[in-house]
Amino acid sequence: MPQKINCAAILAGGKSSRMQTEKALIPLGNQTLIARIADVLRPIFPEICVITANPAVARAARLPAVADRFQNRGPLGGIHAALVHFEAPTFVVACDMPFLNAAFIGYLSQNFAGDALVPLGESGFEPLHAVYGSNLASVFDFQLRDEKTPPMRRVLQQIDTRLVPLEIARGFDPTLKCFSNWNTPADAGAISERPQT
């Protein structure tokens, strides 16, 4: 039976090396990128945190900061930190997605089942725009104790991952702009110049 999700975490622990600056703090209109993401999530989730070791990033979002338990272990480490913090199923989103679709996130928050609920985008899994069950905290803890962090694709194949078909995502966002992300200065320039909807 689908479960309502009340918790969300914004992953902002990456090094932003390709962006050459802290991507969460890049200006977008009259606010920072992470503030924009936080504003989308607030009406949907009563509890929200930022997974970061940089207090300035959390302050920009006006949210509490939660540090990774396993340092420098990529998205898996961030998801693990969120699940340990909330001890509840959690919607997890990357800090570099400027055009989130609130209605689609609301749909995900109302339809969680299995171990993880992950949308499919045009390039495959969208694991940084997904819901993870609290039971995965111990599973991810075990995986993170290994010397080499497994890729998210392999992790999702080893658990009960429920996939949200591309057609459902397109029903909320026909162009799938909600999965757009900023990795480089060129990305930020191109995306910020698009007309806003």
Does residue 37 lie within any of the structural domains?
yes
Does residue 2 lie within any of the structural domains?
no
Residue with tokens 């658990």: 159
For residue 51, report the phi and psi dihedrals to the nearest 5 degrees: -90, 105
In single-letter form, the type of residue at position 152 comes to: M
pLDDT for 184 equals: 55
Total number of domains constituting the chain: 1
What CATH number does residue 25 fall under? 3.90.550.10
Domain of residue 112: give its range: 7-192
Letter string b/e over residues 11-41, b meaning 16 or more CB atoms within 10 A of that residue's CB:
bbbbebeebeebbbbbebeeebbbbbbbebb
pTM of the entire predicted model:
0.89
> Is residue 109 within 8 Å of residue 100, measured between CB atoms?
no
**Which of the residue ranges 16-20, 66-70, 91-95, 158-162 would you say has the lowest mean pLDDT?**
16-20
pLDDT for 197 equals: 37
pLDDT in tens, 102-138: 999 999 999 999 999 999 999 999 999 999 999 999 9
